[in-house]
Structure 1
Amino acid sequence: MTDPAGRRYQVKGELAAFRGVLFPARTAAGLWPYVELLPEPGAAAPEGVEPRRAADGSVAGYPVAPEQLEAWYAVHWTFHWRGEPFECTGATDTTIAGTYLGTDQEFAKAHLKRRVIGYRGEFPRAEVTDPTEHREDLLGPRTALARRLAEAGHFRPAVQATYRGRTYPAAAEPDATGRIGLTGADLAHSDLPVDPQDPTRHLAAPAQLDAWYRTHWTFHWQGGPFQAVGTSEGRIKGVYTGADWGFVDGLQLTQEPAPDGARPHYTVEVALDEVTDLEQHRTDLLPPLTD
């Protein structure tokens, strides 16, 4: 299919530019934040990209990290026919079809086909004027969101400790000797001993730490309180902490087994711009200093 300007690209959908070549594209399901390139049948595959296989072995697409793309955007076209506006829904070598965007009911009834909602027409290309491409940038928002989620640790609960001015993932409880396990590649060059139970960790006494603390995030969605437990496909996931069964049932929250197995809890996955009162909380774990 060609677009209204005669180029061989879809008239509505998503396109991504990779190494100077435009491909139809979509979000790579299950591989967020990757974008999946979808070469047209017979077109060359994107150079240097491993394909993702479907269950039957066929190529489902070519996942690419956002930072490898020059552009990724949603596109649609509009045009005019006899001075009236349309959104393009299809194109052939000789005709262009579109949904009527105007408000002239007499014009629509006289020249167009009635649809369930609105009117549609198909016209000779020679009669179409003002074909215009409209783009919505998808790459910038995806890159910004990925950066924000990374900076926030994907809103997961975490325990961290600061040792000599640097912050490391840390154990939530001291070991049997009262020391706290820290994880970090550069700790191999420190004076901290290796944890005999876990060689990837090093042990620090509380007095050696500048800080040791637990963090978690909370937010509200649809007026209900949640504690964040991470992200999924770029959406924040939270466990409902309220006590209103009507809220749980009415908004059809997802029931999941609680980590402690005591009773189920209820979760939701929503876009960041749908939540309010997103706030980080910190609980200090270092014992108070004594004289």
Structure 2
Amino acid sequence: MNADGRFDRYEGEVAVFRGVRFAARSAASRWPCVELLPEPGSSAPEGVAPRYAADGSVAGYPLAPDRLDAWYAVHRTFRWRGELFECTGATDATIAGHYLGDDQGFADEHLKRRVIGYRGEFPRGEVTDPTERREDLLGPRAELLRRLAEANDFRPEACAVHRGGTYPADARADASGRIALTGAGLASSGLPADPRAPDGNRYLATPEQLEAWYRTHWTFRWEGGPFEAVGTVEGRIKGVYTGADWGFVDSLQLTRETAPHGTPSRYTVEVDLDTVTDLERHRTDLLTTRQ
């Protein structure tokens, strides 16, 4: 907000890079980047490669969030005749906004009906109590990245422990009953190399050569329905529905996918982490299940 109490030209999402403010947004298909959007005719952000649109024009400048000084959303409100509005636009002479009140008579008399709610545009001189609130986006993005890294993006995975070291492993033994482990540190372990892995980073161990072999996976509930997590997409957790309620699948429009390995189709969702409940990690001992 300007010193005279007027809203400045920055609205929506704003990012600060090397002390310069830019309009911004989450970068499409560039998770977890933030895309800087310089105003027409202004200089491009120094040292940031552009992202080009299909027509060859510059769509924006994606940047990793840890390179930003700040990233926040600007929320603006004002009052007209005592009623509260959310600002949606401003000119030198007027301010427009969505009505946040609940006085139906006031809305019918003074405002224009929209598909959802009411809107009005008013002379600046009649507007009072202009207020601006900044919602931090950078901190929550950093916290989300930390959570995803700690949980390995909620992907199911199998691990094996050999001579005190833990390595990624196959969840199933091969035809000879041996388990494939992956890791450069296994080169001096004495385990035979997996002939199916030309890069030489996979090695084969019998169950008797392992201290542990286990699978981990995550489950959660969304809208009351049970899901098994299969990873994340653009920072959102993806889950496969494990219930048997067709009404749930149909009413919430779950996505039908062809499951891997020729198994029947499955239904999935991609949702924000803060919308799920009962998020729980499970561990299955694979050595015990072979006995």
Q: Same fold (TM over 0.5)?
A: yes
Determine the structure 2 residue equivalent to 1:64: 63
**Superposed displacement of residue 150, structure 1:** 1.5
- Would the aligned equivalents of 1:219 and 1:278 in 2 still touch at CA under 8 Å? yes
**Superposed displacement of residue 180, structure 1:** 3.0
Change (3 A) 1:132 1:169: same
2:169 is equivalent to residue 170 of structure 1: yes
Aligned equivalents of 2:28, 2:148: Cα separation in 1:
18
Aligned equivalents of 2:249, 2:87: Cα separation in 1:
42
Between the aligned residues of both structures, percent identity stands at: 67
**Superposed displacement of residue 196, structure 1:** 3.3
**Superposed displacement of residue 289, structure 1:** 11
Determine the structure 1 residue equivalent to 2:236: 235
Aligned equivalents of 1:173, 1:192: Cα separation in 2:
18
Superimposed CA distance per residue, residues 54-93 of structure 1 (whole angstroms, 9 cap, x where no aligned partner): 1111111111111111211110223345666443222223
Aligned equivalents of 1:219, 1:21: Cα separation in 2:
41
Change (3 A) 1:35 1:287: same
1:136-155 map, 5 Å = 136-155=135-154
Letter in 2 for 1:183: T
2:72 is equivalent to residue 73 of structure 1: yes
TM-score, normalization: structure 2? 0.84
Unaligned residue ranges in structure 1 (runs of 5+) = none
Determine the structure 1 residue equivalent to 2:91: 92
Aligned equivalents of 1:200, 1:192: Cα separation in 2:
11
- Would the aligned equivalents of 1:16 and 1:72 in 2 still touch at CA under 8 Å? yes
Q: Equivalent residue of 1:260, what SS? A: helix
TM-score, normalization: structure 1? 0.84
1:25-64 map, 5 Å = 25-64=24-63
Determine the structure 2 residue equivalent to 1:120: 120
Aligned residues: 285
Q: Calculate the aligned-residue CA RMSD, in Å.
A: 3.0
Aligned equivalents of 1:102, 1:222: Cα separation in 2:
29
1:271-282 map, 5 Å = 271-282=272-283
**Superposed displacement of residue 173, structure 1:** 3.0
- Would the aligned equivalents of 2:94 and 2:121 in 1 still touch at CA under 8 Å? no
Q: Equivalent residue of 1:25, what SS? A: strand
- Would the aligned equivalents of 2:160 and 2:213 in 1 still touch at CA under 8 Å? yes
Change (3 A) 1:93 1:211: same
